[in-house]
Structure 1
Amino acid sequence: MGARVARMFRNFNLENRVHREISRDKPRSAPRHAVTAAQEAPSSAGASEAPESMNEKNAPLLDHLRSLYVESTDPENPQSSKQEKGDEAERRPLQYSIPLDQLGLVEITDVPKGKLTLAEALKALSSYQQQPKTWTVEKIASEYSLELRDCKALLHHFCPFRVQIIPPASAQTKRIKDS
Structure 2
Amino acid sequence: MGARVARMFRNFNLENRALREISKEKPNTAPRHAASVPPPPVSSDVSESVKQKNVPLLAHLRSVYVESRDPEAAAAETLTEVAVSREAERRPLRVSFPGGMFGLRELTDVPKGKLTITEALKALGSYQYQPQTWTPEKIAQEYSLDLKDTEAILEFFIPFKVEIIPPKTRSAKQIKAS
> Normalising by the residue count of structure 1, what TM-score does the alignment of the two structures yield?
0.51
Q: Does 1:122 align with 2:121?
A: yes
Which structure has the bigger radius of gyration?
2
Tell me how far 1:139 sits from its aligned partner. Answer: 0.2
CA distance in 2, matches of 1:123, 1:41: 80
Once the two structures are TM-superposed, the CA of residue 137 in structure 1 deviates from its matched residue by 0.8
What secondary structure does 1:111 align onto? strand
**Does 2:135 match 1:136?**
yes
Question: What residue is the counterpart of 2:163 in the other structure?
Answer: 164
For the residues of structure 2 that align with 1:153 and 1:46, how far apart are their CA atoms?
73
Match of 2:53 among 28, 43, 46: 43
Which residue in the other structure is 1:111 paired with? 110
Contact 2:92 2:109 in 1 (8 A): yes
Deviation at 1:121, TM superposition (A): 0.2
Structure 2: unaligned runs, 5 residues or longer: 1-40, 68-81
SS in 1 for 2:102: coil
| Equivalenced residues, count | 121
Code of the residue aligned with 2:173 in structure 1: it is R
Look up the match of 1:101.
Answer: 100
Counterparts of 1:11-26 in structure 2, within 5 Å, are none
**CA offsets, 1:20-63, max 9 Å, x none?**
xxxxxxxxxxx987666556557274686356413489xxxxxx
Q: Secondary structure at the match of 1:103?
A: helix
Which consecutive unaligned segments of at least 5 residues does structure 1 have? 1-30, 58-83
Secondary structure of 1:92 counterpart: strand
Query: Per-residue displacement from partner, 1:68-113 (whole Å, max 9, x unpaired)?
Result: xxxxxxxxxxxxxxxx99x834222221223563633233332222
CA RMSD of aligned residues (A): 3.8
Matched, 1:174 2:172: yes
Moved more, 46-55 or 101-110: 46-55
In 1, are the aligned partners of 2:113 and 2:146 still within 8 Å (CA)?
Answer: yes
User: Once superposed, which parts of structure 1, at least 4 consecutive aligned residues long, lie more than 6 Å away?
Assistant: none
